[in-house]
Chain A
Amino acid sequence: MEIIFLTFVFVLSIFLGFELINKVPSTLHTPLMSGSNAISGITLVGALASAGSANQSLATILGTLAVAFATINVVGGYLVTDRMLAMFKKKKQGGES
């Protein structure tokens, strides 16, 4: 039953994703990519459990590495997206000199 449940969540989320992203204008496609990339760093949550289990050395090593890489993804992704989005200005706000 759990398989069905997880698959259900998976399918619905994909449809939701399509609906959400279709509305993003092409101006924002690069920040969208880096921002959604940061979200895919969610795998960090999964890595935490392995890194902290401390009863299986291979899992701990893999988990720790996964935590490091996923954190790069999360921290770097959100920061760089923020940096980019801060640059997008409308004409009135001093875009024109």
Chain B
Amino acid sequence: MSTEIIINLVYVASAVLFIFGLKLLGSPDTARRGNLISAAGMFIAVVVTLLDQKIIAYEYIALGIVLGALVGAVAARKVAMTGMPELVALFNGFGGLASLMVGWAALAMALSIADTTAPVPLFTLVTVFVSILIGGLTFTGSLLAYGKLSERISGRPFMYDGQRIINGLILLAVLACAVLFILDPTNQNWLYLAVALALVLGVMFVLPIGGADMPVVIALLNSLSGVAAAAAGFAIGNILLIVAGSLVGASGLILTNIMCKAMNRSLRNVLFSGFGVVKKVSGPVVEQGEVNPITADDAYYILEAAASVVIIPGYGMAVAQAQHAVKELQTILEGNGVEVVYAIHPVAGRMPGHMNVLLAEADVPYDLLLEMDQVNPRLETFDVALVIGANDVVNPAAREVESSPIYGMPVINADKARTVFVLKRSMASGFAGIDNPLFFKENTRMLFGDAKEMLGNLVKAFD
């Protein structure tokens, strides 16, 4: 009995460390320490759990830990910063899968000791099914998100008629399996079917979601991986799993909400509407004027005369791996006495905070990264807005064109700067396939080409 008390006391300490760790994540100065504290909480929780008298065989545990630690460490070290969204998606999935298996294993153990006089408690059965359902859909949903993000499969939304009805039916079928299994726990087929259906549901749920909506989906899957852990905690009666799982669940939910707000869409709309295939809006489309292309050499004269420049990065910067080139240009401009800041839209990139991490990698100090609300009121004061691989997040149609699908979405008002440079591969429309009147504005100059190369040309022009 006393070991159990010790274990639980250490769990309390571990929960406190998680909470402090998350608290310290509130500022970039303390965030690294916060992460270490949180890791320490995890470490003591794992060590003290091994003291549990119910654990009698350590060889499998050692095997699992060594394998997992190796894979995890290699992945964490090798991943490029541009590949971070994929990695997080993959880790989310593994968390979900682990929770599914913990729930299932708990059930297997409970069934092996249960008999007719002492059946498995209903509470255990129900919570096991919750952890299997959520863990399973988190797993396959995350794998699919990983595939879309890493472009192993098309990032385009995949829709068909009656999609929602079919997804609803699958969910109902899982619940039906749960009920049938609870009524007769000796028939394991219902259990297997439920696991399979939960896995199918994860795929079906991410299929209709397009690449540009990935920030929302990753945040939601992040939340679900936490909820799955909490559900597993209910199933095995472990408080620490419940506390840590629900902290993560809440965190993911907040991020999901922030992302949805930044796109001016409801979660339902993101999950079910397949934004990327919105048909071209008919009716009075924006009057498309002339596009004004410009060469790097001409752009140099304008940049050279500028006193302040705001750089607005988007997913294109990540694709072109242009963050270091951006930093180089920033350094040269600053050497020229120009004030340089960055304006970061919450959904720029493929996951929350994607741009910030890339720029941090390129050694851009984080106090130069301004949020949309900070920068918008003073955009008129900038001589140059340099848009690098961003499209929808600077689209003035969101303010001006009521028929535009993104009308009402908060955007960075790049067009208000005196001159706007847009670095863009070609005139193809953005991911969401929406016209962008910014490109046709009088004060806009287009720099066509690979972002990294173009930035290199600008830097060269200064030499």
Contact = CB atoms under 8 A, between A and B. Distances in A.
Contacts of A26: 258, 344, 346, 352-353, 356, 371
Given A39-B248, A63-B64, 13 more contacts: A6-B237, A17-B251, A17-B254, A21-B255, A26-B344, A30-B353, A32-B352, A35-B34, A38-B91, A52-B60, A68-B63, A75-B72, A91-B367
Contacts of B31: 28, 31, 85, 88
A41 B95 contact: yes
A43 B72 contact: no
A67 B245 contact: no
A75 B246 CA distance: 20
Interface centre among B105, B253, B360 (most CB of A within 10 A): B105
B42 A74 contact: yes
B183 interface: no
B393 interface: no
A30 B21 CA distance: 15
A90 B46 contact: no
A17 B249 contact: yes
A21 B251 contact: yes
Given A9-B239, A28-B356, A33-B353, A48 B255 contact: no
Interface in A18-35: 18, 20-35
Interface in B199-255: 218-219, 222, 225-226, 228-230, 232-234, 236-255
B104 interface: yes
8 shortest interchain CB distances as A-B pairs: A71-B68, A17-B250, A67-B64, A29-B353, A76-B72, A95-B365, A52-B55, A75-B72
Given A3-B123, A46-B102, A33 B68 contact: no
B88 A33 contact: yes
Nearest to A46: B102
A66 B98 contact: yes
A13 to B, nearest CB: 4
A35 B21 contact: yes
Given A32-B353, A59-B105, A67-B64, A14 B249 contact: yes
A34 B230 CA distance: 18
Nearest to A63: B105
Interface in B88-130: 88, 91-92, 94-95, 97-99, 101-102, 104-106, 108-109, 112, 123
Contact of B64 (A71, A73, A77, A79): A71
Nearest to A52: B55
Interface string B21-50: 111011111011011101100100110011
B69 interface: yes
B42 A85 contact: no
A88 to B, nearest CB: 5
B160 interface: no
B115 to A, nearest CB: 14
Interface string A50-91: 111111101110111111111111111111111111111111
B244 A67 contact: no
B364 to A, nearest CB: 7
A63 B105 CA distance: 6
Contact of B56 (A25, A54, A64, A74): A54
Nearest to A95: B365
Nearest to A47: B102
A37 B60 contact: no
